[in-house]
Structure 1
């Protein structure tokens, strides 16, 4: 393919003007090794030119492009002795990153820009992303829907006032009076929901989709214990006289004051505790380990500790993004399934790994389109089911 034609296809893609046949042609040529040099030249010219309207200035564009090129070069060098198929897969990830930068900066983030006919096939209306929504279950069984509840005081439990703030988060204020029985509340998020809560001790908690937090309305003296399901991130308020304990699927995490994430979804192979700051002790089936920042404990039959994990990617969900780097497609689709509240069916076995960096606010069709541009996969969406094919 001549450079001029490739640039034309890219321009039409960014202008949301590319026909389905043109998109297929572009994808095919992006996957071919013979187009590497041409693609690099085209993308470099596109980023350096003013033809693509974008909020990033020229220096930012140049930095983004150089970082992508450096990563691609490192991947090629690291895999020089591996089979060609693997090298092509790695290059495809770099190509996808370039296209995502162009499409994300120049097309998607431009206010009001619309995407049309070349998205993955949908039988009906597009599937929208999740949002801030949850249900608060009080000790007496009352249920309060938090996404539609009025702001201000929601309930009173003894000396504790439960309120929803203007930014939508849940706040507990008060202490447990001496002699008063401890009562427990539960916050649960549905598939396609997330929520933030501040506990009575000042600890801040973020719940991912399809997760729950079971906790005392007021912590008794010398003790702070909660139970979780799904994925929950904690910023624990320091209190030397009262350790903070999290229980999830037979795993116990104990801290004094720190920042950490617990992933305990039942469809994941292990309970993963990832430490961002401070230190934690993770116990499982009679064994325990201490984590340092950047470490992750994977509890299954035993506890496996990984050092220097990619905490930025792991915490992307809390910051409103999907961030996956060279991850199996099945792992990525489990995240997508929970956030968009859809079912995923693999019709073909796909062993390639994928990389994606995108906002969690995008409709489902846009996210799937980015994955399709990486090559090797096609999606069909029927109502609330995604069918994954080669």
Structure 2
């Protein structure tokens, strides 16, 4: 099948003139992956040229979208049937066939997954050339509070040596991260610093022992500028991912809200936001001991310790979903809407107001670098919620 024929099929698809038999044939070919790459190329070229954007207003696009879903659903049993006015949830699929067909469906509503992926590939510069009034995603922003109480805005600070704190030189590296280089390890020189990210911010810190810490939005890390005692102790609020430098004679401890995580050298994530129902410690590799109110639990890689009134261990945590934030992604696997909106609120620095009770759960994946409106448009295609942006408020309705 050549590109021109695929282009013709796409035009028929968009105009809702593609018959069920033709759609079945296209689906069969895509299932075999034989023409999926070519189809993706055709769709991307069409979107870039604007050739298929002359369709009509949003109401007509929505009508076509629903009709195509019904046709696809009739052949595949994949999409939920619904009446003319109700939303149709898009269920999860796998493989390149899923990407191709999803792209065809999403283009009808003007939020093609291809455009989103293409947009997110230009992180920084081009990604921020958006419409006036658009709410942009978070970025590397943080405040460093020194031992004397003075503050340094890290996102605007020049690269190089920022100051001297106790036994360490404080550096802003070329990649933007904050690093503490030990220059004189004496007990008398110990000082304490705090790195705080606002809503809509994130930051990476390298501690004086070489431990790397990623801070998510609305989080803080309190730590000594040199580790001189028998233990290395830091305090966290919000969410942080740790890659702890191994020192068997000097255990590393993370303290947060009456909970303690003790490690020797390992990779783990701590989610301790005050508005979440539990404090979650998720282990990626190594071993950690989680302690709360006199109870100790040892967790292994892939497990999660949830601390609320007691400690509960989740044997098989969804690591990909839990760690997506560190890799610059939103990843949801059957996650409830309220939990998702708490994450969106922190990352985009917006307030969320639910006007209706919505029990939807979502399974989706997207870059965290897209403007808020693009993310919400994508979510509207995937569930029964409608989102209205009013300045820095997001109103959620059925």
Shorter-chain-normalised TM-score: which range?
0.7 to 0.9
Aligned residues: 339
**Distance in 2 separating the partners of 1:111 and 1:327:** 25
Residue of structure 1 aligned with 2:91, choices 71, 93, 97: 93
The answer (yes or no) to whether the contact 1:275–1:296 under 8 Å persists in 2 is yes
Partner of 1:211: 219
1:8 aligns with 2:8: no
Partner of 2:375: 367
**Distance in 2 separating the partners of 1:95 and 1:179:** 57
Deviation at 1:22, TM superposition (A): 2.3
**Distance in 1 separating the partners of 2:268 and 2:166:** 30
| Higher mean C-alpha deviation, range 20-29 or range 268-277 | 20-29
1:36 aligns with 2:73: yes
The answer (yes or no) to whether the contact 1:175–1:200 under 8 Å persists in 2 is no
**Distance in 2 separating the partners of 1:131 and 1:177:** 33
1:314 aligns with 2:314: no
1:171 aligns with 2:209: no
Relative to 1, partners in 2 of residues 1:16 and 1:383: Cα closer, same or farther, differing over 3 Å?
farther
Q: CA RMSD in A?
A: 3.3
Query: Residue 297 of structure 2: SS of its match in structure 1?
Result: strand
**Distance in 2 separating the partners of 1:292 and 1:90:** 40
**Distance in 1 separating the partners of 2:87 and 2:189:** 59
The answer (yes or no) to whether the contact 1:89–1:352 under 8 Å persists in 2 is no
**Distance in 1 separating the partners of 2:66 and 2:382:** 10
**Distance in 2 separating the partners of 1:331 and 1:302:** 21
Query: Residue 24 of structure 1: SS of its match in structure 2?
Result: helix
Partner of 2:140: 132
Relative to 1, partners in 2 of residues 1:282 and 1:188: Cα closer, same or farther, differing over 3 Å?
same
Partner of 2:125: none
Alignment of structure 1 residues 48-63 onto 2, 5 Å: none
Residue of structure 1 aligned with 2:266, choices 258, 283, 293: 258
Residue of structure 1 aligned with 2:336, choices 318, 328, 332: 328
Residue of structure 2 aligned with 1:269, choices 261, 267, 277: 277
The answer (yes or no) to whether the contact 1:153–1:163 under 8 Å persists in 2 is yes
The answer (yes or no) to whether the contact 1:274–1:295 under 8 Å persists in 2 is yes
**Distance in 1 separating the partners of 2:88 and 2:268:** 31
**Distance in 2 separating the partners of 1:193 and 1:351:** 29
**Distance in 1 separating the partners of 2:120 and 2:274:** 39
1:240 aligns with 2:248: yes
1:24 aligns with 2:32: no
Relative to 1, partners in 2 of residues 1:287 and 1:112: Cα closer, same or farther, differing over 3 Å?
closer
**Unaligned runs of at least 5 residues, structure 1:** 41-68, 77-83, 114-122
Partner of 2:204: 196
1:152 aligns with 2:160: yes
Deviation at 1:17, TM superposition (A): 4.7
The answer (yes or no) to whether the contact 2:270–2:281 under 8 Å persists in 1 is yes
**Distance in 2 separating the partners of 1:344 and 1:95:** 29
The answer (yes or no) to whether the contact 1:124–1:383 under 8 Å persists in 2 is no
**Distance in 2 separating the partners of 1:101 and 1:313:** 22
Partner of 2:35: none
| Higher mean C-alpha deviation, range 195-204 or range 8-17 | 8-17
The answer (yes or no) to whether the contact 2:305–2:313 under 8 Å persists in 1 is yes
1:159-194 superposed Cα distances (whole Å, 9 cap, x missing partner): 310010011000001166434053210000000000
Query: Residue 318 of structure 1: SS of its match in structure 2?
Result: helix
The answer (yes or no) to whether the contact 2:271–2:281 under 8 Å persists in 1 is yes
The answer (yes or no) to whether the contact 2:166–2:225 under 8 Å persists in 1 is no
Relative to 1, partners in 2 of residues 1:317 and 1:196: Cα closer, same or farther, differing over 3 Å?
same
Relative to 1, partners in 2 of residues 1:179 and 1:91: Cα closer, same or farther, differing over 3 Å?
closer
Deviation at 1:220, TM superposition (A): 1.2
Deviation at 1:353, TM superposition (A): 0.6
1:224 aligns with 2:232: yes
- TM-score scaled by structure 1? 0.79
1:107 aligns with 2:102: no
